[in-house]
Amino acid sequence: MKLSARDAPGYFARPDADKTGLLIYGADAMRVAHRRQQVVKALVGPKGEEEMRLTRMMAGELRKDPAMLADAMKAVGFFPGPRVVLVEEAGEALADRILPALEDWAPGDAQVVVIAGTLKATSKLRKFFEGHRNAYAVGIYDDPPSRGEIEGMLKDGGLTNLNDEAMRDLVALAQTLDPGDFRQTVEKLALYKLNDPVPVTGADIEACAPASTEAAIDDVLNVVAEARTSEIGPVLSRLQAQGVQGVALCIGAMRHFKTLYAVAAAPGGPGEGIGRLRPPVFGPRRDRILRQAQDWGAIKLQDALTLLTDTDLQLRSAGRTAPDMALVERALIRLSMMAGRR
């Protein structure tokens, strides 16, 4: 049977131990591995491997020993409880080695969990599992975790003291991170708030989220957008010492001020605009962008984007004489002075 994307998360959390097997396939190895880990743990429990109720094998091993899967599936375990045979890195080329064993499955045999990469709709593996009355097939795609899945992660981590705003920030963060990175962030947040009675806040989430590679550039752009002109020189000197190029700063500034313009120019006002940003922003950064957009206003932000476009053209000009960083510094100072005008 084919397991729908809507039903798959619930099944992974509470799988049926009496099924013949489960095929999990997808192009994103990290997402597939996360689901494999989740469903196997739910089937055999945390001590399943320790009690030898979990047998792992690589699909390539079946080339040398075609009976390996059938033997593992039929083997009688010493410890009571559900048994699982995990076949990893399966592919269409090995379907003829995997399917005969599954066709011989009987109640009491170990459940077979097959992990594969991308499979076409015409794949023998997919057709077998999708057409089997006692087995499931599920494709893992690049969809971010749903709110329900996030709540499950929080429950597993012991995080229950969240308000609506913190939950909104976590949902926004899940849109921008890979599932593995997001799960690690939730685990880090659980440790960060261990024995802390204060509810989780956006600042807590920001502290635990992976650091952006653009964080250093964002520092100087916040200085500029908030009209702290005297701080521009020292911050730029530090960035230049770290190897940041003038072109990267100009690109970052364009990105930042386009974001501010999208917020300020929203038909329903900045409050609507901040909610429509993609990727979404959360926590203190959300509040900061909203405040900057409100302070600047759409008209001044248009002027800022014009100035940055002219600077970008100068940087690309073959006839320029000033160094890149000098051109960008002048533009940032002019922007900061523009921000200070009311």
Q: Was domain 215-340 assigned CATH 1.20.272.10?
A: yes
Q: Is 206 helix (H, G, I), strand (E, B) or coil?
A: helix
Q: List C-alpha distances in Å: 183 to 38, 147, 156, 186.
A: 12, 13, 11, 5
What's the confidence (pLDDT) of residue 48? 87
pTM: 0.55
pLDDT at 126 (0 to 100): 92
* Cα–Cα dist 332/336, whole Å: 6
Q: Is residue 168 classed as helix, strand or coil in its secondary structure?
A: helix
Please tell me which of 8-12, 85-89, 227-231, 338-342 the model is most confident about, judged by mean pLDDT. 85-89
pLDDT in tens, 191-215: 888 888 888 887 788 778 776 545 5
Residue 221, number of CB atoms within 10 A of its CB: 22
| 8-139 CATH pick, 3.30.70.120, 3.40.50.300, 3.90.650.10, 3.30.365.10 | 3.40.50.300
All structural domains of the chain with their residue ranges: 8-139, 147-208, 215-340
Write the pLDDT tens digit of every residue in 97-124.
899 989 999 999 999 999 998 888 889 9
Q: Mind listing the pLDDT tens digit for each residue in 244-261?
A: 888 888 888 999 999 999
Per-residue confidence (pLDDT) for residue 50, from 0 to 100: 86
Q: 8-139 and 215-340: same fold?
A: no
